[in-house]
Structure 1
Amino acid sequence: MYRERPAGFARAVLWTSTTTAGAAPTRVLPDGCVDLLWSSRSGLVVAGPDRTAHLAGGGPAERWVGLRLPPGTGPAVLGVPAVELRDRRVPLADLWGDRDAARLAALAEANPVAALTEIAVRRLRAAGGPDPLGARVAAALAGGATVAATAAEAGLAPRALHRRCRHLFGYGPKTLARILRMGRALALARAGTPLAEVAAHCGYADQAHLTRDVRDLAGVPPTALLPR
Structure 2
Amino acid sequence: MAAREPDWVPGDAWLAPGYAEWAPPAALRGAVACLWASVVPDGADRATLVLPDACSDLVWEQGIGGYVAGPDTGPVRTVTKAGTVIVGVRFRPSAGGTVLGLPLSEVRDQRVALAALLPAAARRLPAGLSPAEAAARAVDIAGLLIAEVAPDHAVSQAAALLRDPAARTEDIAGQVGLSERQLRRRVHAAAGYGPKTLQRVLRFRRFVRMLDAAGEPPDLASAAVQAGYADQAHLTRECSALSGLTPAALARVRAQPSGGSAIMAVPISRKPSRA
Partner of 2:5: none
Partners of 1:2 and 1:201 lie apart in 2 by 27
For residue 147 of structure 1, the aligned residue among 166, 169, 177 is: 169
- Flag the structure with more relative contact order, 1 or 2, with Cα contacts below 8 A and sequence separation at least 6: 2
- Please say if residues 107 and 115 of structure 1, whose CA atoms lie closer than 8 Å, have aligned partners that are also in contact: no
The alpha-carbon deviation at position 167 of structure 1 amounts to: 0.4
Q: Is 1:5 matched up with 2:30? A: no
Aligned length: 226
The alpha-carbon deviation at position 61 of structure 1 amounts to: 4.1
Structure 1 residues 58 and 195 mapped into 2: Cα distance closer, same or farther (>3 Å)? Answer: same
In structure 2, runs of 5+ residues without a counterpart are 1-17, 257-275
- What's the CA shift string for 1:120-178, capped at 9, x where partnerless? 111111113x3222321111111222212211211222222111111011111111110
- What's the CA shift string for 1:42-73, capped at 9, x where partnerless? 10010001111121225454211011111121
The alpha-carbon deviation at position 2 of structure 1 amounts to: 0.6
SS in structure 1 of the partner of residue 102 of structure 2: coil
The alpha-carbon deviation at position 118 of structure 1 amounts to: 0.4
Which stretch shows the higher mean deviation, 27-36 or 55-64? 55-64
Q: Is 1:207 matched up with 2:232? A: yes
SS in structure 1 of the partner of residue 137 of structure 2: helix
For residue 131 of structure 1, the aligned residue among 152, 156, 160 is: 152
For residue 105 of structure 1, the aligned residue among 104, 121, 126 is: 126
Kindly report structure 1 stretches of 4+ aligned residues shifted beyond 6 Å: none
Partners of 1:210 and 1:204 lie apart in 2 by 6
Partners of 1:120 and 1:58 lie apart in 2 by 24
Q: Is 1:43 matched up with 2:68? A: no
Which residues of 2 match residues 1-228 of structure 1 at below 5 A?
1-8=18-25, 9-10=28-29, 11-20=32-41, 22-59=44-81, 61-97=83-119, 100-105=121-126, 109=130, 111-128=133-150, 130-144=151-165, 145-192=167-214, 193-226=218-251, 227=255
In structure 1, runs of 5+ residues without a counterpart are none
Partners of 2:227 and 2:169 lie apart in 1 by 15
The alpha-carbon deviation at position 23 of structure 1 amounts to: 3.2
SS in structure 2 of the partner of residue 114 of structure 1: helix
Give me the TM-score of the superposition, normalised by structure 1. Answer: 0.90
The alpha-carbon deviation at position 186 of structure 1 amounts to: 2.1
The alpha-carbon deviation at position 205 of structure 1 amounts to: 2.1
Structure 1 residues 142 and 108 mapped into 2: Cα distance closer, same or farther (>3 Å)? Answer: farther
SS in structure 1 of the partner of residue 238 of structure 2: helix
Give me the TM-score of the superposition, normalised by structure 2. Answer: 0.76
Partners of 1:201 and 1:100 lie apart in 2 by 42
RMSD: 2.1
Structure 1 residues 214 and 100 mapped into 2: Cα distance closer, same or farther (>3 Å)? Answer: closer
Structure 1 residues 149 and 107 mapped into 2: Cα distance closer, same or farther (>3 Å)? Answer: farther
SS in structure 2 of the partner of residue 90 of structure 1: strand
Which stretch shows the higher mean deviation, 22-31 or 33-42? 22-31
Partners of 2:129 and 2:106 lie apart in 1 by 24
Structure 1 residues 103 and 204 mapped into 2: Cα distance closer, same or farther (>3 Å)? Answer: closer
Partners of 2:46 and 2:140 lie apart in 1 by 32
- What's the CA shift string for 1:69-126, capped at 9, x where partnerless? 11121123211111111111011100123x5522343895461221111001111111
SS in structure 2 of the partner of residue 165 of structure 1: helix
Name whichever structure is richer in helix by fraction: 1
Which stretch shows the higher mean deviation, 140-149 or 190-199? 190-199
Structure 1 residues 181 and 100 mapped into 2: Cα distance closer, same or farther (>3 Å)? Answer: closer
